[in-house]
Amino acid sequence: MLWYCVEARRRDARALRRACSSVSVAIAVFFLLLCTFVVYLPELQQETSSAASANRGVTLLVWTHPFGQYRKLPDCWARYQIEGCTLTDDPLEYPHVDAVIIHHREIATGAAELPSEPRPRAQKWIWMNYESPSHTPALWRLEGKFNLTLSYRADSDIFLPYGYLEPGITRSPDAHLLVAPSRARLQRPRLVAWVISNWSDSQARVAFFYELQRYVNVDVYGRVGIPLAVGSGSVVRLLSRYQFYLALENSQHTDYITEKLWNAVVAGAVPVVLGASRRNYERFLPPKAFIHVNDFPSVRGLARHLLMLRHDPSRLWHHLDWREGYSTVQPAFWAHHYCSACRAVRRSIGSTQVVHSLEQWFWSDPSLSLSRSRDEEGL
């Protein structure tokens, strides 16, 4: 749904420029406005709010810096044009803030405790987590503690994925304009790369790699392979030399589609993905923008396909020609997240809710419920 509406908005914009009659303009405007309201990207989420709440600023407390790594708090207005937001990491401000954003890892490992109870009246607690359910322990301890969720899942109260597409050029400081390569420069010096930091033989991605390397050469980088160059953007620069990149997630869960995919997209390498279902990936990217390992009955079949594409420019072009006219947005950790949370708190002034089933929700797979309902409709 995400990508389809972005694509529809882009098509409608072109239609508006070509329209010659008032009738065609009216129709194009109607569909453009319709998809503007339907699209579900984090920068476009809209909620009605009272005039009073719209004018009132809020203060958000960052309870712990994620993973114990201090980062300077952003100016939300200067960076994202999000107004009325004050951020602090001073725990002494706890009694006075409108909301507290709490990163799961520090609470789960005991590196930090939850704020003291009872909390100040009307204060909201926000649960923030960007690990998969398989790597998110002790959720049961947090039932009924939080008011809002902030994660990569599309059904979070505050939805901010690892990356997403926008049509055209966007003003976001976290954006990168994509271009389609010329047909004369399609082929790249090297074939397949994989960057991995956390290696475990129990992971499905490691078993996949062992099988794939029987048929094609895979250059492995990271802690268990060739050392990566130091510095921001080093992975993207590396991948710009490769035709394909193995965007293999450490576990397979709903919407858990990380920077591995988006680094490949920015670098212009065709991502080969292992993670959520193809349908799930297609909510974020055009169907031809990636190759899913489940598209093939065997790893050998996938390897043969990659080698075929390497020597067939017209079919390789099919995976890259969609890029023209899009930008990727990869929200900066953690500035974008704090400011998005602050904006959500402003919009929810005067309302409250409690997350009663955090563990059940985070492990759930909405696509299964959707498939089940469709099956029942067909009976």
Catalytic residue chosen out of the listed positions 83, 93, 113, 131? 131
Buried b (16+ CB within 10 A) or exposed e, 85-122: bbbebeeeebeebbbbbbbbbbbbeeebeebeeebeee
* List of residues 6+ apart from 294 with CB closer than 8 A: 277, 278
58 sits in which H/E element: strand 58-62
Task: Encode 80-93 in three state secondary structure.
Answer: HCCCCEEEECCHHH
Burial of 244 (0-12, 13-18, 19+ CB in 10 A): buried
Tell whether the torsion through CA atoms of 220, 223, 228 and 233 is positive or negative.
positive
Alpha helices in 39-92 (DSSP H): 51-55, 76-80
Nearest by Cα to 99 from 50, 133, 73, 62 = 62
Residues 290 and 272: beta-carbon distance below 8 Å: yes
Helix (H, G, I), strand (E, B) or coil at 134: helix
131 catalytic? Reply is yes
Give the Cα separation of 309 and 320 in Å (integer): 12
CB atoms within 10 A of CB 299: 19
Q: Which two tokens stand for residue 362?
A: 């985070």
In a 13 Å sphere around the CA of 45, the CA atoms on its Cβ side amount to: 16
Active site residues per annotation: 131
